[in-house]
Chains A and B, each alone.
Chain A
Amino acid sequence: MTEPALRAEDVRKTYHSRRGPAVEALRGVSLALAKGERVALLGRNGAGKTTFLRIASTLLAPTSGAVEVFGLDVSRSPELVRPFIAVVPQEGKPFFHLTPREQIYAYLRARGVDRETAKSRTEQSLEQMDLNEVANRLCITLSGGQKQRVMVATVIATEAPLLFLDEPTIGMDPFARRSVWGSLRRLTRAGSTILLTTHYLDEAEALSQRLYIIEEGRVLVAGTAEELKRQVGGTMRVSITDGGKLSGEFASFGTCVREGESLHVITGPERINEIMALAMREKVSATVGPVTLEEAFLRVVGRSIEEE
């Protein structure tokens, strides 16, 4: 593997408070992103995703451990790292009294991009984020989703080698989310690397090449969406209406999960025919579908919570 775009080794972060007990937000996170990769950090609220993103983007000092961006230590040389990165902060908003066009252009100029390049990238970014119609309206008049698109457009326009996006599509409609996905894919094709956090599992699956699930400040699982799905016992799900009472009959086919009166059997594609045949014999209706990342996420994180 060539030098990674980002490498984190045993990163820990403890928040100390005068009024309450110390909080261990990160308990030894290690991960790596190759150049040009799109990687998602998944986890419940408070799992430590944003803390990690802020450490990696030079905005927060770790308690211990090391993070390197293109071989540069973010703790020792944040000023050397910053030209290589750009961040969409969680719940960030553009300047309300600038237009989207002004916001993107002003930010690019502040980063040292020359006038002509800043102008053309601003127009390109407005186009990509479908913001042309509102490009000259003050951001204060835009909807929440449009404001978020302005933030993403601002950061995408930087074409920085490493982008950190903390819940970049929150509040966006499905069309806007797909515009963001398309732009991020284009950026990685051009060589940028992207680390994003999201609570939209479909987004993580559609967009990221690999993902890390963080729980209680630790990396619980790392791999592709398919690998994660396999960890729950299979890639297919057979849902059997009124099958709750038949879990014994279906247990040998895979992992059985009862949900009210229904039974879900997580299994491999090679067992589907047998299960359907049994369902017909038992005169219960059954539907077949792929295991979703959300189901895998719930199973993996849920198992971890149960173990604790």
Chain B
Amino acid sequence: MAFGLKWAGAGVFCATEVRVQFHEWLAILTGTIVQAVLLIFVWVLAPALLAIALVGALVYSVFLIGQRVLNEAAYVRIDHKLNELYHASPMSPEAYFLGMSSGIFLAYLPPILVIAVITVLVAPFDLRTWGVLIACMLAVWSVSATLGYFISTLFKDMKTIWPYSSLITNLLGIVPPVFYPLGLVPAGWRWLALVLPTSSATALVNGAAGFEVLTSGDILLAGGSLAVEAIALFFFGIYWARRTAREA
């Protein structure tokens, strides 16, 4: 119970979410369409960038989990009122938040693993790069799941939520250098790409894999930003879950 956090029930709720999500296997499958299409474009138009695009596809896939959390948390709360069933129970709000986020992460892991296998075939990573990739993916998951959960609590109607879900996914997943190299970003905007969670993660992995050259300043900025964002947002997620367990 470090920091007064109570995780009891998170594992069960995670398993519940995995079970629920697996019934929507088509959604899991179609969740990789954007990545697949972009990878095909890159393969046809600029095959030399395929390895970078694959790293981008991995990071983007994890970032999409935030969108799933947003939709699921909103659906469960607005349409099913199941959040009330769980919040008025011994299971803590942080366990609810973590259980849902990790359950969706696990359910959406298979397509991510397929992309990882393709990445290994196209551009084998050394152990250090795998370490950086996994750390970055976990950090992106923390950021995106928290953002998703946070936004899901702000609205009372599913239809209002959908545009925000799409906006955030595109603004942070497609526009910044996730599927394309950091080197293509104008010098004046490079710092912004290095502080955004998705593009900082891809920059760090591409740097570790030797696909792109990063200065130590770039690494420090990208790594520091991502770590701070991941940790800060994770704790914010817990705070927000607790705060919204009871309406003001």
A residues in contact (CB < 8 Å) with B: 54, 57-61, 78-79, 82-83, 85-98, 102, 106-107, 109-112, 138, 151, 154-155, 158, 164
Closest 3 CB pairs of A and B: A97-B23, A89-B81, A89-B84
**Bound CA–CA A153/B91 (angstroms):** 19
A-B contact pairs, 29 of them (CB 8 A): A57-B84, A58-B246, A59-B88, A59-B245, A61-B246, A78-B245, A83-B90, A85-B88, A86-B89, A88-B85, A89-B81, A89-B84, A92-B81, A92-B82, A93-B79, A93-B81, A94-B80, A97-B19, A98-B16, A98-B19, A106-B13, A106-B16, A107-B85, A110-B89, A111-B91, A112-B9, A112-B91, A154-B85, A158-B89
Q: Are B82 and A93 in contact (CB under 8 A)?
A: yes
Chain B residues positioned under 8 Å from A83 (CB to CB): 89-90
B residues in contact (CB < 8 Å) with A: 6, 8-9, 12-13, 15-16, 19-21, 23-24, 76, 79-82, 84-92, 95, 99, 245-248
**Bound CA–CA A154/B16 (angstroms):** 14
Shortest B158–chain A CB gap in Å is: 14
Shortest A257–chain B CB gap in Å is: 39
Q: Are A78 and B246 in contact (CB under 8 A)?
A: yes
Chain B residues positioned under 8 Å from A60 (CB to CB): 246-247
Q: A61-B246, A109-B9, A110-B86 given. 15 additional CB < 8 A pairs?
A: A58-B245, A58-B246, A78-B246, A82-B87, A85-B88, A86-B88, A87-B88, A97-B19, A98-B19, A106-B19, A110-B91, A110-B99, A111-B9, A112-B9, A138-B23
Chain A residues positioned under 8 Å from B19 (CB to CB): 97-98, 102, 106
By beta carbon, the residue of chain A nearest B87 is A59
Chain A residues positioned under 8 Å from B21 (CB to CB): 97
**Bound CA–CA A82/B246 (angstroms):** 12
Q: Are B85 and A59 in contact (CB under 8 A)?
A: no
**Bound CA–CA A90/B85 (angstroms):** 10
**Bound CA–CA A295/B16 (angstroms):** 46
Q: Are A95 and B88 in contact (CB under 8 A)?
A: no
Question: How many A-B residue pairs lie within 8 Å, measured between CB atoms?
Answer: 104
Q: Are A92 and B20 in contact (CB under 8 A)?
A: no
Shortest B42–chain A CB gap in Å is: 35
By beta carbon, the residue of chain A nearest B23 is A97
Q: Are B16 and A110 in contact (CB under 8 A)?
A: yes
By beta carbon, the residue of chain B nearest A93 is B80
**Bound CA–CA A220/B218 (angstroms):** 68
Q: Are B24 and A97 in contact (CB under 8 A)?
A: yes
Shortest A279–chain B CB gap in Å is: 52
> Known: A87-B88, A102-B19, A109-B12. Is A54-B81 also a contact (CB below 8 A)?
no
**Bound CA–CA A106/B10 (angstroms):** 11
Chain A residues positioned under 8 Å from B90 (CB to CB): 82-83, 111-112
Most buried by B among A60, A82, A88, A98: A82
Shortest A51–chain B CB gap in Å is: 10
Contact of A58 among B79, B88, B248 (CB under 8 A): B88
Shortest A55–chain B CB gap in Å is: 9
**Bound CA–CA A230/B10 (angstroms):** 52
Shortest B156–chain A CB gap in Å is: 12
